[in-house]
Chains A and B, each alone.
Chain A
Amino acid sequence: MPQVSSKVGDDAGARDRSPDPSGWVDLHGDALYRFAILRVGDPHAAEDLVQETFLSALRAADRFEGKSSVRTWLIAILKYKIVDHFRTTAVEVRASDLAVWEEEDDEEFFDKRGHWKRAVREWRGSPDELVENKDFWRVFQSCLTKLPEAHRRAFALREIDGRDSEEICEILSITPANYWVMIHRARSRLRKCLDANWFRRDLERG
């Protein structure tokens, strides 16, 4: 069996097509962790999912055909692990909770006639530029983790992974009506958090 390159890091790991598991953690651990933390939010859950991914891959290593890189194969396994994690740790969403959150948000954003309380100002920058900015990423991640757990999961599945609403309702065991409320509130809260903690400060910085 060919040995994994001794070069450690993302560059080496990305090209690796060897199923030899001896260097997996050093070669792919960071990339898998980045993938998981963005979707599940909780660092400990992300670490556990990475570990489960490596263990599943180890059991299936004989079946790896080398048609893709090891990194791509591991990420495919991790995607299943994350969906399983969402299914097995379902967050109960009660209609009463949704109603309370909705009322709180409405009072914060809109006046009694349903008009914006504060001016909505244009944002500067493009996704390509922002994703390269470490400081923006920290703010984005912080805003994401502030969302209620169920909202964050719905947002991650819809906006980060691009899954459709029917699939998300099935994974999260929620009704379509609850999904529409949750995804709207998630967008609305995330927009507000980024606006306050990045884009308005960006304007102030000039």
Chain B
Amino acid sequence: MMINCKESAVRSSQLRDRQLKGIRKVELWYHLLICQFCRIYGKQIGMLGNLSRKLGEVTGSSTTPVEGLKDIKLPEDAKARIKNRLSTN
């Protein structure tokens, strides 16, 4: 019934992808009840996912980028090269 932290980390990742079922899920919940570090780890990979999704949304939307991403720009030499390619097509 008892799994260790290493296995708990693997299963927390599978839980995030909704791939954990049955006894494997029960074993994870049981471990999380008694292990604070693994509870925090689960929260952190959840936050990583939320953060990544947020980045995906803000870069994929047609609105103005958020402040944190505004410095990322297509280099000027690449812009010139692409303009040149577009003009010759």
Contact = CB atoms under 8 A, between A and B. Distances in A.
Q: Check if A and B associate.
A: yes
Interface of A: 10-11, 14, 21, 24-26, 29-35, 37-38, 43, 47, 50-51, 54-55, 58-59, 68-69, 71-72, 75, 106, 109-110, 113-116, 119-123, 127-128, 130-134, 136-137, 140, 155-156, 158-162, 165, 180, 183-184, 187-188, 190-191, 194-195
Contact of A110 (B5, B54, B56, B78): B5
20 contacts: A29-B73, A29-B74, A33-B78, A34-B59, A47-B82, A50-B82, A54-B85, A75-B62, A109-B6, A120-B44, A121-B40, A122-B43, A127-B53, A131-B54, A131-B58, A132-B68, A134-B67, A156-B52, A158-B17, A159-B56
Contacts of A110: 4-6
A195 B44 CA distance: 9
A183 B68 contact: no
A29 B54 contact: no
Contacts of A140: 51, 55
B79 A29 contact: yes
Contacts, number: 168
Contacts of A114: 4-7
B40 A128 contact: no
Q: Which bucket holds chain B's interface residue count?
A: 35 or more
A69 B55 CA distance: 20
Q: In the complex, which of the residues A29, A113, A159 has the most CB atoms of chain B within 10 Å of its own CB atom?
A: A159
A54 B82 contact: yes
Chain A interface, DSSP helix/strand/loop, else mixed: helix
Nearest to B65: A10
Contacts of B50: 127
Contacts of B41: 120, 191
